[in-house]
Amino acid sequence: MRLSNLCVWLLCTDAFILYEMRLSNLCVWLLCTDAFILYEIRLSNLCVWLLCTDAFILYEIRLSNLCVWLLCTDAFNLYEIRLSNLCVWLLCTDAINLYEIRLSNLCVWLLCTDAFILYEIRLSNLCVWLLCTDAIILLKSVYPIYAFILYEIRLSNLCVWLLFTDAFNLYEIRLSNLCVWLLCTDAIILYEIRLSNLCVWLLCTDAFIVYEIRLSNLCVWLLCTDAIILLKSVYPICVSGCCAQMQLFS
Protein backbone atom coordinates (compact mmCIF):
# COMPACT_ATOMS: atom_id res chain seq x y z
CA MET A 1 0.00 0.00 0.00
CA ARG A 2 1.45 3.28 -1.04
CA LEU A 3 -0.19 6.46 0.13
CA SER A 4 1.03 10.00 -0.01
CA ASN A 5 1.34 12.07 3.11
CA LEU A 6 -0.26 9.65 5.59
CA CYS A 7 -3.64 9.64 3.99
CA VAL A 8 -6.39 7.11 3.87
CA TRP A 9 -8.21 7.94 0.77
CA LEU A 10 -8.97 7.07 -2.78
CA LEU A 11 -8.16 9.15 -5.78
CA CYS A 12 -9.93 8.75 -9.06
CA THR A 13 -8.19 9.10 -12.38
CA ASP A 14 -8.86 7.95 -15.91
CA ALA A 15 -7.51 4.54 -15.06
CA PHE A 16 -9.09 4.31 -11.64
CA ILE A 17 -12.80 4.96 -11.54
CA LEU A 18 -15.11 3.80 -8.86
CA TYR A 19 -18.56 3.17 -10.23
CA GLU A 20 -21.86 1.74 -9.11
CA MET A 21 -20.76 0.94 -5.60
CA ARG A 22 -23.65 -0.06 -3.46
CA LEU A 23 -23.24 -0.30 0.26
CA SER A 24 -25.64 -1.94 2.65
CA ASN A 25 -25.42 0.03 5.85
CA LEU A 26 -22.60 2.42 6.43
CA CYS A 27 -20.32 3.86 3.78
CA VAL A 28 -18.22 6.83 3.07
CA TRP A 29 -18.65 7.73 -0.52
CA LEU A 30 -17.99 6.87 -4.08
CA LEU A 31 -15.38 8.75 -6.02
CA CYS A 32 -15.43 8.60 -9.77
CA THR A 33 -14.32 10.45 -12.88
CA ASP A 34 -11.37 12.79 -13.21
CA ALA A 35 -12.94 15.59 -11.19
CA PHE A 36 -13.55 13.43 -8.14
CA ILE A 37 -17.29 13.38 -8.47
CA LEU A 38 -19.52 11.47 -6.16
CA TYR A 39 -21.96 9.45 -8.17
CA GLU A 40 -24.81 7.13 -7.43
CA ILE A 41 -24.31 6.71 -3.76
CA ARG A 42 -26.99 4.65 -2.21
CA LEU A 43 -27.13 4.05 1.50
CA SER A 44 -29.63 2.17 3.58
CA ASN A 45 -30.51 2.68 7.21
CA LEU A 46 -27.32 3.60 8.99
CA CYS A 47 -25.54 6.62 7.56
CA VAL A 48 -22.68 8.74 8.73
CA TRP A 49 -23.43 11.59 6.46
CA LEU A 50 -25.73 14.50 6.16
CA LEU A 51 -27.81 15.09 3.10
CA CYS A 52 -26.87 18.15 1.23
CA THR A 53 -28.38 20.21 -1.51
CA ASP A 54 -28.16 23.84 -2.48
CA ALA A 55 -30.92 24.69 -0.03
CA PHE A 56 -29.41 22.64 2.76
CA ILE A 57 -27.46 24.65 5.29
CA LEU A 58 -26.08 23.32 8.48
CA TYR A 59 -26.30 25.80 11.30
CA GLU A 60 -25.36 25.47 14.93
CA ILE A 61 -24.77 21.80 14.82
CA ARG A 62 -23.77 20.66 18.21
CA LEU A 63 -22.81 17.08 18.80
CA SER A 64 -21.46 15.66 22.01
CA ASN A 65 -19.20 12.87 20.92
CA LEU A 66 -19.11 11.48 17.44
CA CYS A 67 -20.05 13.17 14.22
CA VAL A 68 -19.77 11.86 10.73
CA TRP A 69 -21.21 13.96 8.03
CA LEU A 70 -20.97 15.28 4.58
CA LEU A 71 -21.12 18.83 3.35
CA CYS A 72 -21.40 19.69 -0.29
CA THR A 73 -22.54 22.16 -2.90
CA ASP A 74 -21.60 25.80 -3.12
CA ALA A 75 -24.22 26.90 -0.61
CA PHE A 76 -22.76 25.01 2.30
CA ASN A 77 -20.89 26.69 5.07
CA LEU A 78 -19.97 25.47 8.45
CA TYR A 79 -21.08 27.70 11.31
CA GLU A 80 -20.32 27.13 14.93
CA ILE A 81 -19.54 23.51 14.64
CA ARG A 82 -18.53 22.27 18.01
CA LEU A 83 -17.52 18.70 18.44
CA SER A 84 -16.16 17.21 21.61
CA ASN A 85 -14.31 14.14 20.48
CA LEU A 86 -14.45 12.89 16.97
CA CYS A 87 -15.36 14.46 13.68
CA VAL A 88 -15.42 13.05 10.22
CA TRP A 89 -16.50 15.25 7.45
CA LEU A 90 -16.20 16.40 3.91
CA LEU A 91 -15.73 19.89 2.69
CA CYS A 92 -16.07 20.70 -0.94
CA THR A 93 -16.41 23.38 -3.57
CA ASP A 94 -14.93 26.84 -3.54
CA ALA A 95 -17.62 28.33 -1.34
CA ILE A 96 -16.98 26.08 1.65
CA ASN A 97 -15.36 27.79 4.57
CA LEU A 98 -14.63 26.57 8.01
CA TYR A 99 -15.77 28.81 10.85
CA GLU A 100 -15.12 28.19 14.50
CA ILE A 101 -14.28 24.58 14.15
CA ARG A 102 -13.33 23.22 17.50
CA LEU A 103 -12.26 19.65 17.78
CA SER A 104 -10.99 18.22 21.02
CA ASN A 105 -9.43 14.89 20.22
CA LEU A 106 -9.60 13.08 16.93
CA CYS A 107 -10.36 14.38 13.48
CA VAL A 108 -10.78 12.66 10.19
CA TRP A 109 -11.67 14.87 7.36
CA LEU A 110 -11.47 15.67 3.73
CA LEU A 111 -10.64 19.01 2.29
CA CYS A 112 -11.91 19.66 -1.18
CA THR A 113 -10.51 22.07 -3.69
CA ASP A 114 -11.47 22.82 -7.26
CA ALA A 115 -10.56 19.29 -8.23
CA PHE A 116 -12.75 17.73 -5.56
CA ILE A 117 -16.43 18.24 -6.08
CA LEU A 118 -19.19 16.35 -4.42
CA TYR A 119 -22.03 15.66 -6.75
CA GLU A 120 -25.28 13.77 -6.72
CA ILE A 121 -25.13 12.53 -3.21
CA ARG A 122 -28.11 10.44 -2.41
CA LEU A 123 -28.64 9.12 1.06
CA SER A 124 -31.61 7.22 2.35
CA ASN A 125 -31.76 8.66 5.82
CA LEU A 126 -30.07 11.37 7.79
CA CYS A 127 -28.03 9.97 10.59
CA VAL A 128 -25.37 11.06 12.98
CA TRP A 129 -24.62 8.22 15.24
CA LEU A 130 -22.58 6.92 18.07
CA LEU A 131 -21.23 3.49 18.56
CA CYS A 132 -21.38 1.96 21.97
CA THR A 133 -20.24 -1.04 23.92
CA ASP A 134 -21.00 -2.49 27.31
CA ALA A 135 -19.74 0.65 29.02
CA ILE A 136 -21.46 3.11 26.71
CA ILE A 137 -25.15 3.29 25.99
CA LEU A 138 -25.57 4.34 22.42
CA LEU A 139 -27.00 7.76 21.83
CA LYS A 140 -28.73 7.85 25.18
CA SER A 141 -27.36 11.23 26.08
CA VAL A 142 -27.64 12.77 22.64
CA TYR A 143 -30.55 10.94 21.11
CA PRO A 144 -32.61 9.51 23.97
CA ILE A 145 -35.48 8.65 21.67
CA TYR A 146 -33.28 6.59 19.42
CA ALA A 147 -31.30 5.05 22.23
CA PHE A 148 -30.65 1.84 20.39
CA ILE A 149 -27.50 -0.20 20.46
CA LEU A 150 -25.51 -1.12 17.41
CA TYR A 151 -24.35 -4.71 17.47
CA GLU A 152 -22.78 -6.81 14.78
CA ILE A 153 -22.54 -4.13 12.19
CA ARG A 154 -21.64 -5.74 8.95
CA LEU A 155 -20.68 -3.64 6.00
CA SER A 156 -20.19 -5.06 2.55
CA ASN A 157 -18.01 -2.69 0.58
CA LEU A 158 -16.82 0.63 1.84
CA CYS A 159 -17.24 2.08 5.27
CA VAL A 160 -15.67 4.48 7.65
CA TRP A 161 -16.20 4.24 11.31
CA LEU A 162 -14.70 5.81 14.29
CA LEU A 163 -14.72 4.65 17.82
CA PHE A 164 -13.63 7.06 20.45
CA THR A 165 -12.71 7.31 24.06
CA ASP A 166 -11.31 10.05 26.20
CA ALA A 167 -7.89 8.60 25.68
CA PHE A 168 -7.51 9.77 22.11
CA ASN A 169 -5.13 12.58 21.59
CA LEU A 170 -3.71 14.25 18.57
CA TYR A 171 0.04 14.44 18.41
CA GLU A 172 1.68 16.62 15.83
CA ILE A 173 -0.35 15.55 12.87
CA ARG A 174 0.61 17.43 9.79
CA LEU A 175 -1.28 16.44 6.70
CA SER A 176 -1.61 18.15 3.38
CA ASN A 177 -4.69 18.34 1.18
CA LEU A 178 -6.90 15.29 1.37
CA CYS A 179 -6.44 13.12 4.42
CA VAL A 180 -8.21 10.66 6.58
CA TRP A 181 -6.21 9.77 9.58
CA LEU A 182 -6.20 8.64 13.11
CA LEU A 183 -4.06 9.00 16.17
CA CYS A 184 -4.11 6.93 19.24
CA THR A 185 -2.49 6.77 22.63
CA ASP A 186 -1.51 3.96 24.93
CA ALA A 187 -5.10 3.14 25.78
CA ILE A 188 -6.08 2.34 22.21
CA ILE A 189 -6.03 -1.29 21.26
CA LEU A 190 -7.08 -2.74 17.97
CA TYR A 191 -8.80 -6.02 18.64
CA GLU A 192 -9.97 -8.71 16.27
CA ILE A 193 -9.90 -6.59 13.18
CA ARG A 194 -10.59 -8.60 10.11
CA LEU A 195 -10.28 -6.70 6.89
CA SER A 196 -10.11 -8.14 3.41
CA ASN A 197 -8.74 -5.51 1.07
CA LEU A 198 -8.61 -1.86 1.88
CA CYS A 199 -10.52 -0.66 4.83
CA VAL A 200 -10.63 2.34 6.99
CA TRP A 201 -9.83 1.33 10.52
CA LEU A 202 -11.19 0.66 13.92
CA LEU A 203 -10.33 2.20 17.20
CA CYS A 204 -11.17 0.54 20.42
CA THR A 205 -10.14 0.70 24.03
CA ASP A 206 -10.96 -1.33 27.10
CA ALA A 207 -14.42 0.22 27.25
CA PHE A 208 -14.90 0.33 23.51
CA ILE A 209 -14.13 -2.85 21.65
CA VAL A 210 -15.23 -3.85 18.22
CA TYR A 211 -16.03 -7.49 17.59
CA GLU A 212 -16.48 -9.27 14.31
CA ILE A 213 -16.00 -6.37 12.02
CA ARG A 214 -15.85 -7.63 8.53
CA LEU A 215 -15.24 -5.38 5.59
CA SER A 216 -15.00 -6.76 2.11
CA ASN A 217 -14.03 -4.58 -0.77
CA LEU A 218 -12.88 -1.04 -0.99
CA CYS A 219 -11.35 0.45 2.10
CA VAL A 220 -8.36 2.27 3.33
CA TRP A 221 -6.98 1.11 6.57
CA LEU A 222 -4.58 1.70 9.33
CA LEU A 223 -3.71 -1.16 11.61
CA CYS A 224 -1.63 -1.09 14.73
CA THR A 225 -1.25 -3.81 17.31
CA ASP A 226 1.43 -4.91 19.71
CA ALA A 227 2.97 -7.04 16.99
CA ILE A 228 2.71 -4.47 14.22
CA ILE A 229 4.60 -1.22 14.11
CA LEU A 230 2.10 1.18 12.64
CA LEU A 231 3.07 2.52 9.26
CA LYS A 232 6.78 2.52 10.01
CA SER A 233 7.50 0.55 6.90
CA VAL A 234 5.19 2.68 4.80
CA TYR A 235 5.66 6.10 6.35
CA PRO A 236 9.06 6.04 8.06
CA ILE A 237 9.37 9.81 7.96
CA CYS A 238 5.85 10.76 8.98
CA VAL A 239 5.40 8.10 11.61
CA SER A 240 8.72 8.42 13.36
CA GLY A 241 7.72 11.66 15.04
CA CYS A 242 4.39 10.28 16.20
CA CYS A 243 5.70 6.93 17.30
CA ALA A 244 8.21 8.58 19.54
CA GLN A 245 5.36 9.95 21.63
CA MET A 246 3.07 6.96 21.53
CA GLN A 247 4.10 3.73 23.19
CA LEU A 248 1.49 1.86 21.25
CA PHE A 249 3.36 2.41 18.04
CA SER A 250 6.80 1.85 19.49
pLDDT tens across 12-41, in order?
A: 333 333 322 322 223 333 232 222 233 233
Enter the pTM of the model: 0.10
When pLDDT is cut at 50, 70 and 90, the band that residue 172 belongs to is very low
* pLDDT for the residue 14: 32
Q: How far is residue 47's CA from residue 62's CA, in Å, rounded to a whole number?
A: 18
Domain borders along the chain are 125-248
Say if CB 239 and CB 231 are below 8 A apart: yes
3-state secondary structure of 167: coil
When pLDDT is cut at 50, 70 and 90, the band that residue 205 belongs to is very low
Say if CB 79 and CB 98 are below 8 A apart: no
3-state secondary structure of 237: helix
* pLDDT for the residue 119: 25
Q: CB under 8 Å, gap of 24 or more: what pairs does 88-96 form?
A: 88/48, 88/160, 88/162, 88/180, 90/29, 90/49, 90/118, 92/116, 92/117, 92/118, 93/117, 93/118, 96/71
pLDDT tens across 214-246, in order?
A: 222 222 233 333 333 333 444 344 333 433 433
User: Residue 120: which residues within 8 A CB-CB, separation 6 or more?
Assistant: 37, 38, 39, 40, 41
* pLDDT for the residue 146: 32
Most confident of 124-128, 209-213, 225-229: 225-229
pLDDT tens across 76-111, in order?
A: 233 223 222 233 333 332 222 232 232 222 233 322
Closest CA to 164 of 98, 234, 104: 104
pLDDT tens across 109-119, in order?
A: 322 222 222 22
